[in-house]
Structure 1
Amino acid sequence: MPHYTAPTRDMQFLLHEVLNVTGSDIPGYDELEPDVTSAVLEEAGRLAGEVLAPLNPVGDAEGCHFENGVVRAPKGFQNAYDEMRAGGWMGLDADPAYGGQGMPYLLGTAVGEMFVSANMAFNMYQGLTHGAYSTIHAHGSEAQKATYLPKMVSGEWSGTMNLTEPQCGTDLGLIRTKAEPQDDGSYRITGQKIWISAGEHDLSENIIHLVLAKIPGGPEGTKGISLFIVPKFLVTEDGAPGARNAVQCGGLEHKMGIHGNATCVMHYDGATGYLVGEAHTGLKAMFTMMNEARIGVGVQGYALGEVAYQNARAFAQDRLQGRAATGTANPDGPADPIIVHPDVRRNLMHQKSFVEGARAFTFWGAEMIDRAMRAEDAEAEAMISLLTPVIKGFLTDKGFETTVLAQQTYGGSGYVKEWGAEQFVRDARIAMIYEGTNGIQSLDLVGRKLPSRGGQAIMAFFELVKTFIKENEGHEALKAGFLDPLKAASKDLQAAGTYFMQHGMKNPNAALAGSYDFMHLFGHVCLGLMWARQAKAAYAALANGTGDAAFYEGKLVTGRYYMARQLPATALHLARIESGDETVMALEAEAF
């Protein structure tokens, strides 16, 4: 059976030596003292490793059960859910006004990573609830917040997001679900939604669905979409679940992975719903949940890479096969552990350098969200808006690749269920698809985020990289191993942006044909920047004297690998971008 150990040491390094959270001017960060974050991370890590991880293969093998409209979660999930509730984990970074602990989003992200690594399917129940909570908190009326948020923060009630319908996914302007106004101010919601994660289950006493629908007579397309709260059970005047609403699960999807999460077809048959915000502004409100979900899915990408890497590393250290090319490493055994072989080392270093770079990138993104929300910093909001499709798209692509590399480390054993590696591959695959496929993320990045506000956000990113390099180029070791490769990669990113500006207006396909490569190019530069920042912190710790020299030296070795072996991919992506759209669009549709 696979194992999981929370990477709390690396998280503490990022929080206190790379991000320097206690020295930040973000409100609330001064409370993130090392002993506080250590206590939170260690307890979350214990829960992840001892409670959630053992249920991961159980949920995969058993799946959810559907009978007569009732969905039951896999064995052991209810006890785990109750333990999560009792510990207050579902409200870790929620508003204290509704029972939350008010911790920064950054700390919630770190804890969320652990829960995903341990059991992604289980964590989705509370992850969707958090997104629904955030949407109601941002856009709901005071009465709606008072009614729903305390129970959602406590985990007594859970939440979902209902967007997709059989005829539309990305193009939400095509939705057919309708919302007919009633005399009492409520609406009757009628329609079908598909692929609804955690849409029906028995873990919580009520489920609060957030549903996109159209009010008859409204504008066409996305401008006519409104957002509604549709509870599974209508809420009585004393705040308790009352009569069953006219919403039912019509069936479960049979999926490649995440079997422990109920992915439902939902039928709304004149269900009572309550408008969130103003009519016809639903898509804007739902983007609160969608953007949070996209960051969360980015976490899923590298978090599964982390647990897959941990198990591949352990296998490589134990599996005896062949002898090292430079001489026997295990003279008392019949063969050497496979970790002595250069190609296995390459495989593991690829995994390790990606995961640790991705964690730093995502923590930095979470810090920007805190700055935007807690300090009302418009520049931070613009930057994280630019980077959100990169976090979602790049980290899930590379995260899936990491799980495949981990599976490869096992050889034939990786193809066998009992080792667990193949489940990580199957579970990771969905992250590239849902919350907007990665192709859509790249189109959003190039078509919307890049030119937004005259390109101010991307120019600010270039300036950030340039300033970091300039301020630290006097450090020779940092310059040679990290800053020079970062500078070269950043120039590739700037060249790609220049190509889009020169050709995109005349021929949009020239830019859009290169959007996927641009997303990856941008992602590599972001991880290169993160590795340079980690290296700076590691060099400082070694210079100041430390009792943990092995950790910092390992950081530098891992970072140098990324800069030398992964970051040069920016040149390949640039070459593809500059080839334009001719070869992409040349073949006639009927010739495919």
Structure 2
Amino acid sequence: VDPAYGGQGLPIVLNQCLYEMMNSANQAWAMYPGLSHGALECLHAHGTEAQKATYLPRLASGEWMGTMCLTEPHSGTDLGLLRTRAEPQPDGTYRITGQKIFISAGDHEMSANIVHLVLARLPDAPAGSKGISLFVVPKFLIAADGSPGERNAIWCTGLEHKMGINGSATCQLELEGALGTLVGEPHKGLASMFVMMNAARLGVGNQSLGLTEVAYQNAAAYARERLQMRALSGAKAKDKPADPIIVHPDVRRMLLTARAYAEGGRALAVYIALLIDKMLASDDADERRECADLTALLTPIVKAFLTDNGWIATSHCMQVYGGHGYVRDNGMEQFVRDARINMIYEGTNAVQSLDLLGRKVLADNGAKLRKFGKIVAAFVEDNGTDEAMQEFVNPLADLGDKLTKLTTELGMKAMGNADEVGAAAVDYLRVCGHLVFAYFWARMAKVALAAQAGGDSFYAAKLATARFYFAKLLPETAGLIRSARAGLAPLMAMDEALF
């Protein structure tokens, strides 16, 4: 956060690492400061000087907290359908009326005020998403001395009864002529809100990363202690009535899957945080542009790939506990319940996939993808003759070539029928996610190989996990590529009346 408004000015990388631990501790609670941070950054980027002076110091200090109010009962992914309206007032303020749902941290008494960022339409707004404006609407109106004053006309009319994240108040909000002020330009609200939305998408990926790690740590500890059956190859703990379940190959498969997804996800999350730090701090315009392009490309992958993996990993880790994971006593089922929302909110993973293939790849003829491809190619070139790296470099290079061919093929199909993008996008994102993970796992393997002679168990474990990833998880891409190439026809052949 900008020190001019009471922040510490620390790098995004540090924030990323802190929030992973917070999400491991309690994802639902960590949403409160996370949303406040997003609201602060949005106002910092697009607010007036008066708005910044009023809201930013209090959001930075935690005295006030923030939300983002987008969704309406009839308008979820398609924000162009929203109906909340904003009526201009003679003094330059606006009276905002409408209903919002699924508003995380929408109402509570943990802070003296709540700063709602609300999307609404002005009377002269064009139809669709190009007619949406952004407003800041405080729960309590701001008094002349800057303190919370009278109650604003924005009310919590109900709490959602959810599968997970039950520590977060997910509210239905009713605005009945609530007083607000315009943020940014009229009809440009969606673009302004994307500052918060993009940060939120990275944050959601981090939520699943935190859940993956905490689920893994618990499951690994349980697997070392839980005694059940003997190993198929003979007793391993002969002094005990049964072997610890960690001796069984399939238990190890589940544990290593979670570990590989946690450590690969962490590498990607820290990398994109570093890109954002460079984008914000560099004096070199070309470097800023390069970092912005890579961030744009990788954001939907962070959001969708890490959350899909988080769902897989938390489910696996609950499975390690068997029936003891299904009951509430051990907390494993909460990780699974909490992980499920991450694939839905802040743009469903299918929407992220469409964004990646349609907007981030095909829209610029693959320019952003080629930038990442050059990074991968340079690594392959630098390490291609290292015999010890062949088991990592060769699959990475092979997948890079296959992704290039797949992208070209899908681009040609899309020119004939745009629905081909929708048919292939989810598979395509997962292939891209594996390419990114394979690159980072190859980098980590290189470091571990160089350090293994020192006898540090950290590097031994890293190398073993890398080998597991390349042998057991990366091969998923073969089926995904085949599925993506199958295209639209198998999905659309059946008449909708037959569903």
Q: Place the TM-score, normalised by the shorter chain, in its bin.
A: over 0.9
Q: How far off is 1:507 after superposition?
A: 1.5
Matched-pair contact (CA < 8 Å) for 1:155–1:204 = yes
Query: Do residues 426 (structure 1) and 311 (structure 2) align?
Result: no
Alignment of 1:525-564 (within 5 A): 525-542=435-452, 546=454, 549-564=456-471
Partner of 2:42: 135
Which residue is 2:131 aligned to? 224
SS of 1:518's partner is helix
Indicate if the aligned counterparts of 2:3 and 2:9 stay in contact, CA closer than 8 A: yes
**Alpha-carbon offset, residue 351 of structure 1:** 1.0
- Offset of 1:303 from its aligned partner? 1.2
Give a deviation string over 1:450-501, Cα, whole Å, max 9, x none. Answer: 12433210111111111111012232111x2211111122122112201112
**Equivalent residue for 1:326?**
233
| Cα drift, residue 330 of structure 1 | 1.1
Q: CA deviation at 1:535?
A: 1.1
Mapped contact 2:125–2:187 kept (Cα < 8 A): yes
**Aligned residue type for 2:475:** P
CA distance in 2, matches of 1:250, 1:137: 30
Aligned partners of 2:388 and 2:362: how far apart in 1? 36
1:486 partnered with 2:393:
no
Indicate whether 1:148 and 2:55 are aligned.
yes
Letter in 2 for 1:502: M
- What displacement does 1:149 show? 0.4
Q: Does the Cα contact within 8 Å between 2:104 and 2:170 map onto a contact in 1?
A: yes
Q: How much does 1:293 deviate? A: 0.1
Q: 1:524 aligns with which of 418, 431, 434?
A: 434
In structure 1, the partner of 2:292 is 381
String of CA shifts for 1:406-439, please: whole Å, max 9, x gaps.
0110111111110111111001000000001111
Task: Indicate yes or no: 2:401 matched with 1:507.
Answer: no
- Once residues 214 and 339 of structure 1 are traced to their aligned partners in structure 2, the CA distance between those partners, rounded to angstroms, is 57
Aligned to 1:181: 88
CA distance in 1, matches of 2:258, 2:450: 25
Return the offset for 1:400: 0.7
Distance in 2 (CA, whole Å) between partners of 1:414 and 1:264 is: 30
The CA deviation at 1:205 is: 0.6
Instruction: Find runs of 4+ consecutive structure 1 residues off by over 3 angstroms.
Output: none
Shift of 1:312: 0.7
SS in 2 for 1:266: strand
Deviation at 1:347, TM superposition (A): 1.2
Cα offset, 1:313, TM superposition: 0.6
Match runs of 1:19-58 below 5 Å: none
Following the alignment from structure 1 to structure 2, what is the Cα–Cα distance between the partners of residues 114 and 272?
Answer: 37
- Indicate yes or no: 2:493 matched with 1:583: no
Task: Give distance in 2, aligned partners of 1:310 and 1:292.
Answer: 27
Deviation at 1:541, TM superposition (A): 2.7
* 1:127-526 matched pairs, under 5 angstroms: 127-375=34-282, 377-478=288-389, 480-526=390-436
AA paired with 2:330? W
Contact 1:211–1:228 (CA under 8 A) maintained in structure 2: yes
CA contact (8 A) 2:131 2:188 kept: yes
Equivalent of 2:5 in 81, 92, 98: 98
Deviation string, structure 1 residues 16-48 (Cα, Å, up to 9, x no partner): xxxxxxxxxxxxxxxxxxxxxxxxxxxxxxxxx
Shift of 1:123: 0.3
Q: CA deviation at 1:103?
A: 0.7
Matched residue SS, 1:164: coil
| Structure 2 letter corresponding to 1:511 | V
3-state secondary structure, aligned to 1:202: coil
CA distance in 2, matches of 1:504, 1:439: 17
Q: Which residue of 2 is the match for residue 89 of structure 1? A: none
Q: Specify the SS of the correspondent of 1:512.
A: helix
In structure 1, distance between residues paired with 2:173 and 2:83: 14
Residue identity in the other structure for 2:267:
A
- Assess if the C-alpha contact under 8 Å between 2:256 and 2:468 holds in 1: yes
Matched, 1:121 2:28: yes
Alpha-carbon distance, 1:373 to partner: 1.6
Alignment check: 8 A CA contact 1:121 1:260 kept: yes
Shift of 1:130: 0.6
Partner of residue 40, structure 1: none
SS in 2 for 1:432: coil
Give the secondary-structure state (helix, strand or coil) at the position aligned to 1:505.
Answer: helix
Whichever residue aligns with residue 138 of structure 1, its letter is: A
Q: In the alignment, residue 479 of structure 2 is paired with which amino acid?
A: L
Deviation at 1:511, TM superposition (A): 2.5
The one-letter amino acid paired with 1:467 is A
Deviates more, 1:117-126 or 1:342-351: 342-351
Equivalent-residue separation in structure 1 for 2:395 and 2:38 (angstroms): 38
Deviations 1:532-568 (A, max 9, x none): 111122223336xx4x611111101101110111111
CA distance in 2, matches of 1:585, 1:513: 9
Q: Is the 8 A contact 2:353 2:426 kept in 1?
A: yes
8 Å contact from structure 1 (residues 492, 571) kept in 2:
no
Deviations 1:127-176 (A, max 9, x none): 11011011001111111111100000110000000000011111111111
Q: Distance in 2 between matches of 1:438 and 1:316?
A: 32
Q: CA deviation at 1:232?
A: 0.4
Contact conserved, 1:495 with 1:574, CA < 8 A, in 2? no
Q: Are the equivalent residues in 1 in contact too, given 2:354–2:425 (CA < 8 A)?
A: yes
Q: Distance in 2 between matches of 1:574 and 1:254?
A: 38
- Unmatched runs of 5 consecutive residues or more in structure 1: 1-93
Provide the residue aligned with 1:13 in structure 2: none
Distance 1:178 1:510 in 2: 36
Task: Provide the rounded CA distance (Å) in 2 between the counterparts of 1:245 and 1:264.
Answer: 16
TM-score, scaled to structure 2:
0.98
Unaligned regions of 5+ residues in structure 2, if any?
none
Q: Residue 450 of structure 1 aligns to a residue in which SS?
A: helix
**8 Å contact kept, 1:213–1:227:** yes
2:100 aligns to what SS in structure 1?
strand
The two structures, once aligned, show a CA RMSD in angstroms of 1.1
> How many Å apart are 1:210 and its aligned residue?
0.1
* Maintained 8 Å contact 2:63/2:113: yes
Counterpart amino acid of residue 329 in structure 2:
E
Amino acid corresponding to residue 316 of structure 2 in structure 1: L
Deviation sequence 1:266-306 (CA, Å, 0-9, x none):
01000000000111110000011000000000111121111
SS of 1:207's partner is: strand
